[in-house]
Amino acid sequence: MRRNAGQPANNLSHLTLMNHCDLYPVIPSLPALTQLQAQLPPLLAQEAVTALRLCFDRPPERKQLDAVRQMAWERDVALILAPANLDLLHGLSLKESDGVHLSSPKDVKTFAGRRDRPEAFQIGCHCLTLDDAMLAGEQGADYVSLPAIGLTALKQWSLFAELPVVAEHVCTTEEALAATQAGADFLAITLDPAENGLDHFTAISAAIP
């Protein structure tokens, strides 16, 4: 999911089960971004990090968005916006990020119709089940995410579907290795300052193949 690729990193549909997963750190909120800002540059410089997700439940300030975008783009990392609802994207130019991560297939259908969406702009969708993931793909998603603990769903999706799949909310090295073996293409790791998110990320980064 690196920038300017025109499609998710590595053309992930061709990967095999034991392939290396790209790392997809997730900033859970704008206050978390403020706390993490000084630690982000070395984290984003890691070769395995190809995308960064920024979650927000209120419009980000211009200064905040500019700063995190610059940190990501200088290191060839895609910036993915994850609004709590689609209304929060109003007023934001889609050219200032590389994609969005949406919370439901219904949102994917609504968003996919935006005429100002750049050609290489990625749409991801948070899914809880294989049915959700299939519907998201039908509505225009470029990748889907499934719970990291749902190994059967991850394995089935990686075997039979073309879209890349993210193992969502990976919390431990054991979950990371199991999701990798199940065929996940990305490991989404939440950088929650209140839950030692950076320590979790460092441990998982060191443990994956």
pLDDT tens-digit series, residues 30-89: 999 999 999 999 999 999 999 999 999 999 999 999 999 999 999 999 999 999 999 999
Q: How far is CA 155 from CA 20, 116, 175, in A?
A: 15, 35, 14
- State pLDDT tens for residues 82-127: 999 999 998 888 999 999 999 999 999 999 888 888 888 999 999 9
Q: Is the pLDDT of residue 14 over 80?
A: no
Identify the pLDDT of residue 7: 37
Identify the pLDDT of residue 129: 96
pLDDT averaged over every residue in the chain: 89
Choose among 74, 121, 127: nearest CA to 100: 121
Mean local confidence (pLDDT), 128-138 = 97
Write down the pTM of the prediction. Answer: 0.90
Distance CA 107, CA 52 (A): 20
Identify the pLDDT of residue 53: 98
Identify the pLDDT of residue 113: 84
Q: Is the pLDDT of residue 4 over 90?
A: no
State percent of the chain over pLDDT 90.
80
Instruction: Please name the residue ranges forming H helices in the chain.
Output: 30-36, 40-44, 62-73, 105-112, 130-139, 151-160, 173-182, 197-207
State percent of the chain over pLDDT 70.
91
Helix (H, G, I), strand (E, B), or coil: what is residue 162?
Answer: coil
- Give the type of residue at 90: H
Distance CA 128, CA 165 (A): 12
Identify the pLDDT of residue 115: 84
Q: Is the pLDDT of residue 166 over 50?
A: yes
Kindly state the tokens that stand for 84. 């709590």
Identify the pLDDT of residue 196: 86
Identify the pLDDT of residue 79: 98
Mean local confidence (pLDDT), 132-146 = 97
Kindly state the tokens that stand for 10. 């590595």
Identify the pLDDT of residue 19: 55
Q: Quick check: 82 and 101 in contact, CB under 8 A?
A: yes
Q: Is the pLDDT of residue 16 over 90?
A: no
